[in-house]
Amino acid sequence: MKKWLSSISNKMFLGYAAILTTTLITSFPLISTNNEVENKVRTFVQQTLPKLGTIRSISSDLKQLELNAYSLYGYTMSSSEYNAQSTMKTEAIRRELEQISSDNTILNQYFNTFAIHLADIHKTMTLKPVNWDVARKHLVDLSTTSDAMLKQIDHLTETLAISAQKNSDSIINKMSIAANLLFILVAIIFAVAITAYIFSCKKIARPIKELSLAASRIAKGDFKTGIIINSTDEIGQLAETFNHMQVGITKREERILKHAHYDYLTGFANSVLMTDRVTSAISQTNRVYSKFSLILLNLKYFEDINNAFGHAHGDAVIKEVAKRILNHVRDSDSIARINSDKFLILLEDSNDVSAAHYTSALIKRLSESIEIDATSITLSVCSGIVSYPGNGSDAVDLLRQAHLAMDQAKQSFSEVAVFDSSSDHCHIRQLSIIRDLRKAVESEQLILHYQPKVDAKNNKLFGVEALIRWVHPELGFMPPDEFIPIAERSGNISLITYWVLKKAIKQCRSWNGQNIKIKMSVNLSAIDLLDKALPEYILSLLNEHQVHPSQLVLEITESTVLRDTDLALQLLNELKDAGINLSIDDYGTDFSSLAKLRELPVHELKIDKSFVMNMLDNENDTVIVKSTIDLGHNMGLRVTAEGVEDQATLTLLNELGCDEIQGYYISKPLSTSDFSIWVNSYNQEPRDQEAVSPS
């Protein structure tokens, strides 16, 4: 483009240069006319001006001589001075007369007479006595001659002026002719130049218009129509470049289209193209009353293969898998690689049962070891199957269901899972939960129930555990076991934790005011222990509601703490240092290192209800409960048993030395109002001392 523009400006520059040259050439005669006029003026000035000077000089000399004569006559000038002056001036006048006109005889004659009168005056005045009449007569004659000469000189000056006038008129004439001529010439040249310019512009504009049309064609996606410009100049070259560019773009577009629809590694369709194919298969199936299945295959741990052996190795594995799938399928089936480790097969004329058989055989083949660079790799493959008609109504829905089936296979450690519509409802329910969580927190759909914890020895109310409940406007009552894990997975748990802490601490203050001074246990999730802002938030709440930190117990599960020990430990120590109690919840459900458990700054160990509930019937559980109580005591911790549902269990726990009891036997989790009723009836039983005495 730059080149092209510079070529145009070059052309314009050349055009203007041509106009200038033509102007110079055509104005040459005018220049010569001007020279001629100038020469004439110069000659005229050279000739006339000295003459005028001489004439002026003669006039003044004559007057001077005449004046001298009068001075001599009046005796104001001596005779010798008059003589000297007359001689000198006379000679000067004679020379001057020669200069102005050698053949001007009249003036010469006058001057001779004048000279005679000059001499006569001198002669008369030098005679003694002076004849004054003669002298006066000579003076008059002198003046007359002088007047005559001056007249003649005036005439001569006039002649010169006329000739000067004539000369200047002719010069002006010549000049105006020249100017007119110049104007006409310039006008002609200008007209020619403008015409030439318009012509040349048109000549440039036409191909440019061609190029502009081509550019808009390209912009509209027409890369086929070429540009024909028959010139070899820059515009021609530009057109050629445009044509090359079009070819290049066409090729690239083809490549991009290929990449947009096909997987570069296997050459199979990608998810975009496969979605189209599934859509076509749905309409085809609807027309001819046939059926098809989608098989989603997932190479489990493929990321580990990539990480361990490198991506080149991973690519080789994918290629081998593709080859095996290709050998297995029929021509009528479609294959796609929809993700790095996922393949999708569209199996024509198939249902869940036949697809499951087919998939099992394929997975068997895919699970055979793959040898790459002397490394043997055995893949683990799982799959999800969905069939049409019967399940989803469109491609997106069917693919989603195939994924759900595949997840199910993964969770159940099986190779093949056929889509089950009940899991779809479950999935949709999960999505609603995620969607509505924030609203639930903001609009009082969440409530806290409180489950009492009592002293095992004297049944005294020791504290409560705050347990969240959600009454969903559409889904109804929802237990925390359902939505808490979803909130954790979707990154919304801190919303809940902050809400619970606020409610629970507020409730604690309220009970304090009613002289119910008990501990308040609140459950934390794993992600909460990575929230550096949490301690400050809790302390500000405690401060705001004037609740002593020792009244708050934070329950954390073993796995939570042990997953990210350093960070969690730091946060737990911060909370402990602030005077807050910490409790290990669900103890026994996770395999945890005792050494690490020792490092935790906790006050309490809560034995999981799964051991407590069956301990009367299951000896193993009894052993676990007993050893946990001993371990807790050895570590200086209080031990709580949750899930106590009957007196026998309570008695056994008491015997084993358990410190606190929580369970349906004491009370189910209660709403605030129910808790008030409960606490009143419970308080009727005798007690020895206050449960908690916050300092």
- Pick what 468 binds: ligand C2E, Ca ion, none; C-beta below 5 to 8 Å, kind-dependent: ligand C2E
Nearest to ligand C2E of 11, 506 (CB atom): 506
The burial class, CB within 10 Å (0-12 / 13-18 / 19+), for 548 is middle
Q: Which token pair is 508?
A: 């604690």
Which strands form 334-339's sheet, in the order they lie side by side? 334-339, 342-348, 292-300, 380-388, 416-418
- In whole angstroms, the minimum distance from the beta carbon of 677 to Ca ion comes to 23
Q: Which of 517, 664, 676, 687 binds ligand C2E (CB under 6 A)?
A: 664
525 binds ligand C2E, rule: CB under 6 A: yes
- In whole angstroms, the minimum distance from the beta carbon of 485 to ligand C2E comes to 9
Angle between helices 565-577 and 534-544 (to 10 degrees): 20
Cβ contacts of residue 251 below 8 Å, gap of 6+?
none
Separation of alpha carbons 37 and 379, rounded Å: 109
Cβ contacts of residue 295 below 8 Å, gap of 6+?
344, 345, 347, 355, 358, 359, 362, 383, 384, 385, 402
Token pair 């193209």 in the structure block, residue: 273
- Pick what 306 binds: ligand C2E, Ca ion, none; C-beta below 5 to 8 Å, kind-dependent: none
- In whole angstroms, the minimum distance from the beta carbon of 590 to ligand C2E comes to 13
**566 to 625, contacts with Ca ion by CB under 5 A?**
585-586
Nearest to Ca ion of 314, 463 (CB atom): 463
- In whole angstroms, the minimum distance from the beta carbon of 628 to Ca ion comes to 13
Q: Which of 33, 359, 451, 492 binds ligand C2E (CB under 6 A)?
A: 451
- Pick what 525 binds: Ca ion, ligand C2E, none; C-beta below 5 to 8 Å, kind-dependent: ligand C2E
Tell me which stretch binds ligand C2E (CB under 6 A): 6-14, 245-253, 617-625, 656-664. Answer: 656-664
Q: Which of 234, 263, 436, 642 binds ligand C2E (CB under 6 A)?
A: 642
- In whole angstroms, the minimum distance from the beta carbon of 487 to ligand C2E comes to 8
Q: DSSP per residue over 120-176, as a string?
A: HHHHHHHSSS--HHHHHHHHHHHHHHHHHHHHHHHHHHHHHHHHHHHHHHHHHHHHH
Pairing of strands 416-418, 446-455: unpaired
Separation of alpha carbons 290 and 277, rounded Å: 15
Tell me which stretch binds ligand C2E (CB under 6 A): 130-138, 180-188, 378-386, 522-530. Answer: 522-530
660 binds Ca ion, rule: CB under 5 A: no
Tell me which stretch binds ligand C2E (CB under 6 A): 25-33, 280-288, 521-529, 591-599. Answer: 521-529
Q: Which token pair is 673?
A: 């109002």
- In whole angstroms, the minimum distance from the beta carbon of 650 to ligand C2E comes to 11
558 binds ligand C2E, rule: CB under 6 A: no
- In whole angstroms, the minimum distance from the beta carbon of 492 to ligand C2E comes to 11
528 binds Ca ion, rule: CB under 5 A: no
Separation of alpha carbons 506 and 495, rounded Å: 17
Nearest to Ca ion of 409, 650 (CB atom): 650
In angstroms, the Cα distances linking 438 to 421, 442, 529 are 28, 6, 21
Pairing of strands 519-523, 380-388: unpaired
Nearest to ligand C2E of 370, 467 (CB atom): 467
Q: Cα–Cα–Cα angle for 415, 421, 426, nearest 5°?
A: 95
Separation of alpha carbons 504 and 555, rounded Å: 13
Q: Which of 318, 468, 600, 602 binds ligand C2E (CB under 6 A)?
A: 468
- In whole angstroms, the minimum distance from the beta carbon of 481 to ligand C2E comes to 5
Nearest to Ca ion of 348, 590 (CB atom): 590
Separation of alpha carbons 324 and 133, rounded Å: 161
Host H or E run for residue 445:
none
481 binds ligand C2E, rule: CB under 6 A: yes
- In whole angstroms, the minimum distance from the beta carbon of 343 to Ca ion comes to 42
Separation of alpha carbons 212 and 219, rounded Å: 10
- In whole angstroms, the minimum distance from the beta carbon of 528 to ligand C2E comes to 7
Angle between helices 105-126 and 79-100 (to 10 degrees): 180
Site string for ligand C2E, 286-325 (x = CB under 6 A): ----------------------------------------
Q: Which token pair is 253?
A: 């577009």
- In whole angstroms, the minimum distance from the beta carbon of 505 to ligand C2E comes to 13
* One-letter-per-residue 3-state SS of 512-544: HHCCCCCEEEEECCHHHHHCCCHHHHHHHHHHH
- Pick what 481 binds: Ca ion, ligand C2E, none; C-beta below 5 to 8 Å, kind-dependent: ligand C2E
Nearest to Ca ion of 66, 555 (CB atom): 555
In angstroms, the Cα distances linking 301 to 304, 309, 340 are 5, 12, 11
Separation of alpha carbons 493 and 487, rounded Å: 5
Q: Which of 314, 452, 463, 663 binds ligand C2E (CB under 6 A)?
A: 663
Closest-CA residue to 656 (of 665, 648, 667): 648
Q: Which of 383, 507, 523, 583 binds ligand C2E (CB under 6 A)?
A: 523
End-to-end CA distance of the chain: 85
Nearest to ligand C2E of 401, 667 (CB atom): 667
Closest-CA residue to 94 (of 111, 114, 117): 111
Closest-CA residue to 602 (of 633, 560, 572, 634): 572
CA 541 to chain centre: 43
- In whole angstroms, the minimum distance from the beta carbon of 360 to Ca ion comes to 41
How many residues line the site for ligand C2E (CB under 6 A)?
23
Nearest to Ca ion of 333, 555 (CB atom): 555
523 binds Ca ion, rule: CB under 5 A: yes
**486 to 505, contacts with ligand C2E by CB under 6 A?**
500
Cβ contacts of residue 98 below 8 Å, gap of 6+?
none
Q: How many CA atoms lie within 13 A of 579 on its CB side?
A: 11
**414 to 473, contacts with Ca ion by CB under 5 A?**
none
- Pick what 479 binds: Ca ion, ligand C2E, none; C-beta below 5 to 8 Å, kind-dependent: ligand C2E
- Pick what 663 binds: Ca ion, ligand C2E, none; C-beta below 5 to 8 Å, kind-dependent: ligand C2E
**560 to 599, contacts with ligand C2E by CB under 6 A?**
585-586
- Pick what 480 binds: ligand C2E, Ca ion, none; C-beta below 5 to 8 Å, kind-dependent: ligand C2E
Nearest to ligand C2E of 269, 568 (CB atom): 568
- In whole angstroms, the minimum distance from the beta carbon of 467 to Ca ion comes to 8
479 binds ligand C2E, rule: CB under 6 A: yes
Chain positions contacting Ca ion, by CB under 5 A: 523, 555, 585-586
Chain positions contacting ligand C2E, by CB under 6 A: 451, 467-468, 479-481, 484, 500, 523-525, 555, 585-586, 609, 642-645, 662-664, 669
